[in-house]
Amino acid sequence: MKKLLCALLAAVMVLSLCACAKGQGEATPTGGENTTPSQTQGETTVPETTVAETTVPHEHEYKEKVTKDATCDAKGEKTFTCDCGDSYTEEIKKLDHDYSKATCKKPKTCKNCGKTSGDKASHKYSSGKCTVCGKFQSVANTKWRAYVVCSQNEMDEMVFSFTKSGGGFDVAIYAPASMMEGAKMVQIDGKKWYQEGFGYGSDEMSYQEKDNTVTVEIDGRGAQGTVVLERTAGNKLKVKSVKGTIIDEWITEDIQGVVFKLVG
């Protein structure tokens, strides 16, 4: 029994010795490892700092600013400035004139400097009225259909044409085609009209135009007088006044009103 105990004790001692020996062996290399990196660190950091401070040069970082705007007449200038105080300038090219289209109100106009070029454009008429400035088209070379309202409430249609001829103006009257048989017809506004031999001939009537008033002089076929027509905002001609002896089918005593509408 004592022998067995001794043997056991011996076995435990051997085991613990081995464990000891193992632990010591592991500890030694780790200790060695710990010292090595601290040495290398010291060697590498020192040279790095000295190189960075002495050899990298200052690079300018310029900010751009327009210091003089270019115009159609003169060059402009841009200034580039670095925080260190260094700066330089660059030229900006002169502008080209940038013209807007001409209208009946204004000739071609530069959007940059306001300079104009050439003449105004002609009016753009739609139904006898300029869509740009609102001016009425001259009655010259236009045709108007007359709506005559008589006391019997009849509507008597005729077309008047104000045309320029020779040194003055003439007025021609076109009567509805249904009134004449076998006569020469003209087509106006989708309808047929008879021109000659009815009412007043062009040599018996003339007209003058001023602003929005058209004055028609009649002298022939026993009639002598003046009819003043005035334009309405909707571009119709209304009889404003009748003076003199105007007889015949279209101006009679029982006429309540005459309105002319532009047809072409």
Report how far residue 84's alpha carbon sits from residue 62's, in angstroms, rounded to the nearest whole number. 9
- Quote the least distance from Cβ 123 to Zn ion, whole Å: 4
> Is the distance from CB of 206 to CB of 220 less than 8 angstroms?
no
113 binds Zn ion (CB under 5 A): yes
| CA nearest to 124, candidates 111, 139, 137, 110 | 137
**CB-count exposure of residue 211 (10 Å: 0-12, 13-18, 19+):** exposed
* Range list of H helices, the chain: 2-55
CB-count burial class (<10 Å; 0-12, 13-18, 19+) for 10 = exposed
> β-pairing, 87-92 with 99-100?
unpaired
Query: In this complex, which beta carbon is closest to Zn ion, that of residue 87 or of residue 208?
Result: 87
Q: CB-wise, 132 or 242, nearer to Zn ion?
A: 132
Cβ proximity to Zn ion, 124 vs 243, nearer residue: 124
In the complex with Zn ion, which residue's Cβ is closer, 60 or 238?
60
Q: Tell me if 188 contacts Zn ion by CB under 5 A.
A: no
The reply to whether 112 sits near Zn ion by the rule CB under 5 A is: yes
Residues numbered 40 to 69 that lie near Zn ion (CB under 5 A) are 60
Of 70, 121, 130, 255, the one binding Zn ion (CB under 5 A) is 130
Number of residues that bind Zn ion (CB under 5 A): 16
User: By the criterion CB under 5 A, which residues form the site for Zn ion?
Assistant: 60, 72, 82, 84, 86, 97, 104, 110, 112-113, 115, 123, 130, 132-133, 135
